[in-house]
């Protein structure tokens, strides 16, 4: 089990969120085409019920997304993305005004509107500024925590024979450059997402997981999102619908390697994984 390096907090709307105990982020997709059909919420009733479920099952963050980033997903306009988000954010603000809301977007204008008009607390960018070069300055101006993910290419191209000279080295250099750019702009709360399934083969994904603890060299929170992804069902067989057990296994491995946030479809199972690994941490003296 990974021994914690030092206390890690992020400033969420003026409150410090302690990541010494890993947090669970529940996925709320307001898209018609996300890779896992069970996560697609289209009606107002479905969105409200899913948000309630995420919080009732113990997640501390709701991550709402309106642009499907599955391989070969349809590229929609910023207007369509924002129209979908408005519906979901209005429901969240009305029903759960105290909830910590993250928006999954790579567009600076969308991020800005979500934070300024709907009080969104965090931005989750799959492209780390690569698909909208105004994103870094926008996040700096907004002063919100920023999750940046490693992705090679775009959702439309990322799985077309991805290759690396040295996967771990390449990802580390990518993050080192990006972190410095954000620090230079004054961004304080940065969270790293290694990008499982984004521009990576099956072997790349498991190599990344095997070396996950090495990301602590950055002394930044690490988010892991493997929920029901192809790295599970391409290895074991089946479909995303069959991949809950594999997800929980990998989430547990990630927690043992020091992950701070789990981004998941199945909140209750992830919360249980956190509780069990935290109990092990206490009994083995790793929390001292």
Q: How many distinct helices (H) and strands (E) make up the chain?
A: 9, 10
Per-residue pLDDT of the chain (288 residues; tens, 9 = 90+): 665 556 789 999 999 999 999 999 999 998 775 544 454 556 888 899 999 999 999 999 999 999 876 655 567 789 999 999 999 999 999 999 999 999 999 999 999 999 999 999 999 999 999 999 999 999 999 999 999 999 986 555 545 667 899 999 999 999 999 999 999 999 999 999 999 999 999 999 999 999 999 999 999 999 999 999 999 999 999 999 999 999 999 999 999 999 999 999 999 999 999 999 999 999 987 665
Which residue in 64, 41, 176 sits closest to 124, CA to CA? 64
Q: Which residues pair with 147 in a beta bridge?
A: 124, 191
What is the rounded CA–CA span in Å between residue 155 and residue 257?
Answer: 27
Residues 6+ apart with CB under 8 A from 152: 158, 162, 164, 198, 199, 200
Span between the terminal Cα atoms of the chain, in Å: 14
| pTM exceeds 0.75, yes or no | yes
Residues involved in catalysis: 229, 263
Give the pLDDT score at 162. Answer: 76
> How does DSSP classify residue 7?
-
The per-residue pLDDT for 35 is: 44
């Amino acid at each position: 089990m990974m021994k914690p390096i030092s206390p890690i907090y992020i400033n969420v709307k003026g409150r410090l969120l302690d990541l010494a105990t890993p947090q669970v982020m529940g996925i709320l997709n307001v898209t018609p085409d996300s890779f896992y059909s069970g996560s697609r919420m289209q009606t107002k009733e479905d969105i409200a019920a899913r948000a309630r479920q995420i919080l009732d099952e113990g997640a501390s963050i709701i991550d709402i997304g309106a642009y499907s980033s599955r391989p070969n997903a349809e590229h929609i306009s910023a207007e369509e993305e924002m129209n979908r988000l408005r519906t979901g954010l209005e429901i969240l603000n009305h029903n759960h005004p105290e909830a910590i809301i993250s928006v999954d977007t790579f567009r600076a204008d969308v991020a800005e509107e979500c934070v300024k008009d709907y009080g969104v607390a965090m931005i989750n960018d799959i492209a780390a500024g690569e698909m909208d070069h105004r994103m870094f300055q926008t996040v700096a101006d907004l002063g919100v925590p920023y999750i940046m993910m490693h992705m090679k290419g775009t959702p439309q191209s990322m799985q077309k024979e991805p290759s690396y000279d040295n996967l771990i080295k390449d990802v580390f250099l990518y993050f080192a450059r990006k972190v410095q750019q954000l620090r230079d702009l004054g961004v304080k709360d940065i969270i790293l997402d290694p990008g499982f399934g984004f521009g990576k083969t099956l072997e790349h994904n498991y190599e990344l997981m095997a070396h996950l603890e090495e990301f602590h060299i950055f002394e930044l929170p690490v988010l892991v999102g493997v929920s029901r992804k192809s790295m599970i069902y391409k290895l074991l067989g089946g479909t995303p619908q069959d991949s809950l057990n594999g997800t929980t296994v990998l989430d547990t491995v990630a927690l043992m390697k020091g992950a701070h946030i789990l981004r998941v479809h199945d909140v209750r199972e992830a919360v249980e994984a956190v509780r069990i690994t935290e109990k092990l941490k206490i009994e083995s003296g790793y929390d001292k």
